[in-house]
Structure 1
Amino acid sequence: MRRYPAHSYFLQVSLRRPTMSANPAVAGERPGGVGKTSRAEFICLLAALMAVNSIAIDIMLPAFPNMADFYSLSDPNNVQFVLIAYIVGFGGAQIAFGPISDRFGRRSPLFAGLGLYIVCALIGAFAPTFGILLFARFFQGLGAAATRIIALSIIRDTHSGRQMASIMSFVMMVFMIVPVIAPATGQVLILIGHWQLIFAFMAIMSSLITVWTVARLPETLPESHRRPLTLISIVQAFRIVLTNRLAFCYAMAIAFYFGSLFAYVSSAQQIYVGVYDLGVWFPAFFSGVAILMAVSNFVNAKLVGRLGQRRLSHGALVVYVVLSITLMIAALLGPVPFWLFYLILGIMMPLFGWVVANFNSIAMEPLGAVAGTASAVLGFTQTAGGGIIGAVIGQTFDGTMLPLATGFAIVSTIALLLVLVAENGKLFGAEV
């Protein structure tokens, strides 16, 4: 594995903190748990914190037509900005919450993020204009970033080695239930009332999670393990990521790859309902793809040790490119039958579980000296970049499958080219 040299004494000092396999102040009272919290409750609590973000995306999809009518949007595609504003805010804030929580501990920044999320959900419920709604969604995304970044940090604080991997796997398995049930929840809320109930539901749900966290989750980063908050450490980490070919190319490949996912999510309601006239069945079909994506994450965990992350992720990306080009050709020839669209989509989307996790791991290979801050930089680059790319693709929707299929083909091909650059023109290489 190629190691990145330390660039300055200041960088080494500012990014270093004492090694901690598991914080003895909070871990160990119950096997796999934290403090007085059992392993099962700890897993469910962290999954709930991470689910705050997923709910804010997936629960909104059935409400798109209602919001477009309420705000009298001249272009139906503009309702996609309800998701894009949130995703950009979420991506941008990741770069801040990692270093902030390393300086001030986990609980205070986490509660600040949850508080911002709740307030913005309430603003969204009563937003008189579309502009105010987008403003609320952007800052709601900022708040949600704290839940994801800090939840991952808490796992790293309290567990290590195989136990950490086990906890993370269980957290992700519980977390993946949310994309399955969130669209149906949104549909039910619309059927029994107005779309504003969705924002009220998010505020109530996140308030309950906040109370649960206050009562049951102790501080996991003691004073002795905290490090100074310095702007230069973030700038240096950006420079290291941007000047390392392997890290930069894989980060950008994920950004383009994420762009196709965000384009699909933001256009899903228009495709399932507008193109294929599925009506109230939209949440069921959307959830079907989400279930396949959850299964693929589990399969990836089983296969990566046997096949290696490069073979698995490179092969999945090649298949994704081939399928996206196939879908584009089908769309060029005429209307794509729903069975064909859903079949291709049902194979393409689960490949995310084989690509993104492994690409992230590969991108981090040369960044060991700045792993914590570099992880936040990579998260920011991928989410914000993918959100912008997804918005560009989503805005081209014209009532047919062609713009989305073309977008899939273009961005996945670019991602493949970036991987080729990173790997000196070779795919499926040996692990390093």
Structure 2
Amino acid sequence: MARSQAPSGKADFPIGIRELVAMLAFSQALQALAIDSVLPALPDLAADLRVGDPNHRQLVVGLFMIGMGAGALLPGTLADRYGRKPVLLGAILAYTLTGAACALATDFSVLLALRLLGGLLSGGLSAVGSAIVRDRFEGDRMASTQSLIFVVFMVVPMLAPTVGQTVLLVAGWRWIFGMTALLGAGMALWIGLRLPETLAPENRQPISWRRVFGSTGEVLLNRGSIGYVLSSALTMGVMWGYIQSCQQLLGEHFGAGQAFPLVFGGMALSMAVANFTNSRVVMRFGARRTGHAALIVYLLSGCVQFWLAHRGGETLWQFVPVMVVNLICGGFMGANFSSIALQPFARIAGAASSLQLFIRTLLASAMGAVIGQAYDNSARPLSTAIVLAGVGGLALILFSERGRLFRRLNPPGTPPHPEP
């Protein structure tokens, strides 16, 4: 098995790159599982807990996402001080316990509070995972590795609704939350036994308000980074708005019915394919060229989706292909923009990863909630959001790049280096 290489070039990491990718992907995918596996159960859950407004049941998903965003702020700073492994294990333990509590909830308000708390306490899953990747790799190599993680990560959204539907066939909706708790416990065992600490002793940062605010200012004021963070937030917000309303949009409005998990899973597969392709393409063309091209195609396909939705009479098989193009572009942008945004912050990778994820996820979850609650038995709100996110995202990237697109992150033949 191939060994992952440290930035210094020394093959001193005790587990192989394949196991590292799988471990980080599945730990981050726990959050996606907690979101997507419950989608088929929303009608049953709403009926059992006596939820009247159909849009209110989306809050089971939306509040978890908001919690994820708010909970991403602190774990990176803790991981810069105490190490990556203990913070990651703490997030997984919190995920497991709140999942088990959700399975026992008998009141809708209590369930919503537990979902918010679960997202809040598990916010470190993604932030710490990104910091571990930054510990090990730089530049386009980091983007390529992040793409491989996203390939495995995207298998979960593809399968989660089908898994949730299967659970419903043999048990009630509560067992979906029980399943997430059991899988969380399994991940904690794997990481506890196999993952070494990746934070170098000389990079440990003491916790102080001065340092925290200093790191925050450093991240927020880096022009070459902040546009990528905000652009990612816009496109992520559209995707989360789609996820929150997809059961109503695909299953009910477009009439997918019992085939909803298969349609949803097939569309999610496109993002996995995109990230696998990106892991190869980015090493040849660079993260910037690949991500910028994807953003332009995203905007153009969004205009097509807007036209289809607003002309009236849009069908499932008109919606799906165009949305698949949007999801593919989102897959290309996700890993590349995240890697570009984190590249300048090797010394404070944990804090920078947390703050960037906090901004990205909190803005995206709020935007996703607005899109979901605007659902009007059509794809019009979603298509409008896609176009606005594409225009806004392009403007933000032009700001970070000072009006110049398609540069390479690291020119061929040169060593990785921080962005100016």
Shorter-normalised TM range: 0.7 to 0.9
Are residue 229 (structure 1) and residue 207 (structure 2) matched?
Answer: yes
Query: In the alignment, which residue of structure 2 is the partner of 1:265?
Result: 243
- Aligned mates of 1:389, 1:105 — CA distance in 2: 32
Structure 2 residue runs without a partner (length 5+): 1-5, 410-418
Shift of 1:429: 4.9
Does structure 1 retain, via aligned residues, the 8 Å contact 2:79–2:350? no
- Aligned mates of 2:241, 2:292 — CA distance in 1: 22
- Aligned mates of 1:305, 1:241 — CA distance in 2: 26
Shift of 1:159: 6.9
Q: How much is the aligned-residue C-alpha RMSD, in angstroms?
A: 2.8
Does structure 1 retain, via aligned residues, the 8 Å contact 2:77–2:207? yes
Are residue 304 (structure 1) and residue 282 (structure 2) matched?
Answer: yes
- Aligned mates of 1:382, 1:398 — CA distance in 2: 26
Query: In the alignment, which residue of structure 1 is the partner of 2:3?
Result: none
Match runs of 1:166-205 below 5 Å: 170-205=148-183
- Superimposed CA distance per residue, residues 165-221 of structure 1 (whole angstroms, 9 cap, x where no aligned partner): 776555443333212211110010112121111001111111122223333334454
Are residue 330 (structure 1) and residue 326 (structure 2) matched?
Answer: no
Q: Larger deviation: 90-99 or 154-163?
A: 154-163
The one-letter code sitting in structure 2 at the alignment partner of 1:291 is L
Are residue 103 (structure 1) and residue 78 (structure 2) matched?
Answer: no
Shift of 1:258: 1.0
SS in 2 for 1:94: coil
Query: In the alignment, which residue of structure 2 is the partner of 1:16?
Result: none
Does structure 1 retain, via aligned residues, the 8 Å contact 2:288–2:336? yes
Q: Larger deviation: 283-292 or 421-430?
A: 421-430
- Aligned mates of 1:50, 1:196 — CA distance in 2: 22
Instruction: Give aligned pairs, total.
Output: 405
Aligned counterpart for 1:206 among listed residues 181, 184, 194: 184
- Aligned mates of 1:224, 1:100 — CA distance in 2: 15
Kindly, what percent of the aligned residue pairs are identical? 33
SS in 1 for 2:229: helix
- Could you say if the C-alpha distance between residues 268 and 108 of structure 1 is closer, same or farther in structure 2, counting changes exceeding 3 Å? same
Does structure 1 retain, via aligned residues, the 8 Å contact 2:128–2:353? no
- Aligned mates of 1:408, 1:169 — CA distance in 2: 23
- Could you say if the C-alpha distance between residues 227 and 309 of structure 1 is closer, same or farther in structure 2, counting changes exceeding 3 Å? closer
Q: Larger deviation: 230-239 or 322-331?
A: 230-239
Query: In the alignment, which residue of structure 2 is the partner of 1:85?
Result: 63
- Aligned mates of 1:49, 1:262 — CA distance in 2: 19
TM-score (norm: length of structure 1)? 0.85
Query: In the alignment, which residue of structure 1 is the partner of 2:414?
Result: none
Does structure 2 retain, via aligned residues, the 8 Å contact 1:113–1:142? no
The one-letter code sitting in structure 2 at the alignment partner of 1:211 is L
- Could you say if the C-alpha distance between residues 193 and 152 of structure 1 is closer, same or farther in structure 2, counting changes exceeding 3 Å? same
SS in 2 for 1:271: helix
Are residue 125 (structure 1) and residue 103 (structure 2) matched?
Answer: yes
- Aligned mates of 1:122, 1:266 — CA distance in 2: 22
Aligned counterpart for 1:428 among listed residues 406, 413, 416: 406
SS in 2 for 1:176: helix
Query: In the alignment, which residue of structure 1 is the partner of 2:48?
Result: 70
Aligned counterpart for 1:355 among listed residues 333, 336, 345: 333
SS in 1 for 2:207: coil
Does structure 2 retain, via aligned residues, the 8 Å contact 1:52–1:144? no
Does structure 1 retain, via aligned residues, the 8 Å contact 2:69–2:357? yes
Does structure 1 retain, via aligned residues, the 8 Å contact 2:130–2:353? no
Please say which structure displays the higher CA radius of gyration.
1
- Aligned mates of 1:422, 1:39 — CA distance in 2: 32
Shift of 1:160: 7.6
Query: In the alignment, which residue of structure 2 is the partner of 1:376?
Result: 354
The one-letter code sitting in structure 1 at the alignment partner of 2:163 is T
Aligned counterpart for 1:392 among listed residues 370, 377, 387: 370
The one-letter code sitting in structure 2 at the alignment partner of 1:250 is Y
- Superimposed CA distance per residue, residues 71-99 of structure 1 (whole angstroms, 9 cap, x where no aligned partner): 32232112222122111211222221111
Does structure 1 retain, via aligned residues, the 8 Å contact 2:131–2:349? no
Shift of 1:113: 1.5
TM-score (norm: length of structure 2)? 0.87
- Could you say if the C-alpha distance between residues 230 and 282 of structure 1 is closer, same or farther in structure 2, counting changes exceeding 3 Å? same
- Could you say if the C-alpha distance between residues 272 and 201 of structure 1 is closer, same or farther in structure 2, counting changes exceeding 3 Å? same
